[in-house]
Structure 1
Amino acid sequence: MDGTRFSPLTDHAQGSQPATAGQTAPNPRATTALALYFSRLGAPMYVHERVTLFAVAESIARLTGYRNAGVFDANEPSPGHVFFVPDDTLMLGEARELGIHSPCQLYGAVVPYPFAKTKAITHQLINTHATRPHGWSTVFAQNVSNVVLPGYTAFNIDDARAAAMRLLPLGALRAKEPLGDGGHGQAVINTITELDVFLENLPTEKITRHGLVLEANLRRATTRTVGYTMIGDRSIAYHGTQRSVINNHGVSVYGGSHLICVRGAWTELERLPMDAEARLAVTQARTYDRNANEYPGFLASCRNYDVGQGVDAHGQWRSGVFEASWRSGGASTAELAALTAFAADSSLRVVDANSVKHFGKPRKPPPGAAVHFCGNDPEDGPLMRYTVITRALRHAG
């Protein structure tokens, strides 16, 4: 690898956009190796998440035929022909240092600012004088305002309270920490007093740096998943639903995804039969996706959108994008299972894939399941993670 050093993959528990102007898009056929990359701003990971990330890298290596070279050593220069599997969305400068200029070079995404990889970008600011981070795109927030729930993002306490005062007449709101995932870092707020209590337990520096999302709370909510994934010359698009489970600490958290996947891209997805609610979710996710390019330097091969649908405090049914995930996440093993199935059988048209997270006493996985983790996570307790294909439809004739 031209002197570039990699760490071996050993103990898992330990561990289409155009090219930028003036640059030539890398030839994916020149790529020979794949490497995991732990980014500078990557969020902390549970052991089971880290193990599953290694499984994602191994799946991509098998799918592409790239040599699995282990963990990339960021202290060494990139040879330019490595396919990266990052733990998190990459910052633009970091990606450029790695030689990444195209979505063909990674499973994930690149954004120009840290806040742009979080749910903070989903909503508008309370007014034109509101505090905002450098690089904030007012245009993006305006353009997606009709496909998200009523809400605001705030970067100081005063703006957060002003946003809550405007939203509470609509009923209960949900406060979300932008870096929270899987249902963590959220609280339902019914009064300003409850918001003040919530803010007292949230460091001011955390709000200033990452922001705080305040949006209408939904009851009897369903979270739909819509996405598009490209690896090399293979791609799928999908829609589906998420499931919530109670973890070992008695908290409701993300428990997996059921994806209905089609070979191809957004156009092929929209041709699938689906109910009106699913079709609306796809339309809203695509609007959010198209506008992501308002952030300069944005590129992604992994585009996943959570869309919430439910009833607000006044009984009105609502639908809106919660957030984007442009990195390896809970649905990734299902995405890769579908991509692998399509690669193995050219007659397949639609594949249903399920990623499952089961907390508590281990149970026998279903036949044909690929188990990614089964054991005791030091922080999350006993759990099992697996993926299984549950349906495969072939072309007629």
Structure 2
Amino acid sequence: MSKKAAVALIAMDTPVPEHDAAIQHVLGEKIAALLAIPFLGWQRPGERQDCYWVPDETVTSEQSRLGLGIANAEDFFGGAVPHAFMATKAISHPLIDKPARTPEGWCAAFHQRVASAVLQGYTVFDLQDARRAATLLLRDGPVRVKAVRGKAGRGQSLITDEAQLAACLAGQDAGEVAQWGLVIEEHLQAVATYSVGQVTVAGITASYFGTQRLTEDDDHQEVYGGSELTVVRGDYQALQSLPLDAAARQAISQAQRYEQAALACFGLIASRRNYDIAQGLGADGSPRSGVLEQSWRLGGASAAELFAVQALLGDPQLHCLRASTYESFGDDAPVGAHLLQRCQVKPHGTLSRYVKVETDARAQ
């Protein structure tokens, strides 16, 4: 089915944490089964070019992409952009006026295109800019300060006044901020987080929307707890053809606008796209909705995506299904779910990951 010789995992930057490496191995095996080619496990950059690659992160340079033999979206599971900051939530907001630092490749046109699809906020690459940006936003209500490489809801601080802001910024690494950026964003109340995305693998394009759930780790910190997705065979137009409520339709439209801007402004190449859209109430009580961030790599919903593709591949008549992932630091196994992994995640506790697919009439 694939023109590639085998499927291989590859770490693009820093070593992959053991628990993430293990689940990526499971998903790499699943992709190899879908493509009907061998699975090689982890490979090092430069070892070969004939693989269908599964990077642990978005590929963030032309040199890396070409070195892996990636010419288009059919050559890998994930995404590729020219600059590292483009792979993080840093792109979701504009720079403040007269910024102290602007990274190479920054595209103001992107923010003009997505202004109606994101929340109020700024991205900064300097701590003094962070102070200016947060002070402006605090006039209208609480804000969130987000490390742009944070995952699973970690690396965020809720700020309500200048004293909290000063303490938060004092704890930031100036070098990290200068290289990767920092997001200052309005805080919403009564929040629901949608996931909207699309994958193309093994000749199948599947698009989806759904909601995320939270779970508590052993430190009682709320983190990502999984996604429940409605998946359709086809593109976003097929997804929009479903009977949707207004909130879901708005989330899908905002994700589309964000993606179209990334394709136009960043030269995005991607076979896997996922967007988190927050809907809630602003400080003044008005409804707010916007894309928080993108994921053009293996992510928390990827098990649901790949098991859904397997179901669609196995039944050409199947059009719509429900696929869910679950992440838990407890022993509460979901009914009918398949255990993917159980491991220690230091210092947060024992993490269990599950996936569940429902193809009966109730999911359609």
Do they superpose with TM above 0.5? yes
Distance 2:173 2:343 in 1: 34
Out of 2, 9, 33, which is 2:6 matched to?
A: 33
Change (3 A) 1:318 1:384: same
Partner SS, residue 163 of structure 2: helix
Change (3 A) 1:374 1:162: same
Q: Which residue of 2 aligns with 1:333?
A: 303
Retained in 2: the 8 A contact 1:235–1:265?
Answer: yes
Q: Which residue of 1 aligns with 2:154?
A: 184
How far off is 1:52 after superposition?
A: 1.0
Retained in 2: the 8 A contact 1:95–1:110?
Answer: yes
Gaps of 5+ in 2: none
Q: How does 1:108-147 map to 2 (within 5 A)?
A: 108-147=78-117
How far off is 1:378 after superposition?
A: 3.8
% identity of equivalent residues: 37
Out of 369, 386, 389, which is 2:354 matched to?
A: 386
Distance 2:47 2:357 in 1: 39
Q: How does 1:1-397 map to 2 (within 5 A)?
A: 29-39=2-12, 41-42=13-14, 45-78=16-49, 81-91=50-60, 92-360=62-330, 362-367=331-336, 369-393=337-361
Retained in 1: the 8 A contact 2:216–2:328?
Answer: no
Retained in 2: the 8 A contact 1:348–1:392?
Answer: no
Retained in 2: the 8 A contact 1:349–1:393?
Answer: no
Change (3 A) 1:71 1:272: same
Retained in 2: the 8 A contact 1:348–1:393?
Answer: no
How far off is 1:253 after superposition?
A: 0.3
Change (3 A) 1:382 1:169: same
Partner SS, residue 30 of structure 1: coil
Partner SS, residue 184 of structure 1: coil
Retained in 2: the 8 A contact 1:47–1:378?
Answer: no
How far off is 1:126 after superposition?
A: 0.8
The one-letter code of the counterpart of 1:37 is I
How far off is 1:307 after superposition?
A: 0.1
Query: Which segment is superposed worse, 56-65 or 386-395?
Result: 386-395
Partner SS, residue 144 of structure 1: helix
Partner SS, residue 319 of structure 2: strand
Retained in 1: the 8 A contact 2:277–2:289?
Answer: yes
Distance 2:333 2:255 in 1: 35
How far off is 1:391 after superposition?
A: 4.2
Distance 2:250 2:357 in 1: 25
How far off is 1:130 after superposition?
A: 4.4
The TM-score with structure 1 as length reference comes to: 0.88
The one-letter code of the counterpart of 1:34 is V
Coordinate RMSD, CA, aligned: 1.8
Gaps of 5+ in 1: 1-27
CA deviation map 1:84-123 (0-9, x unaligned): 1111101222111111110100000011111110000100
Partner SS, residue 172 of structure 2: coil
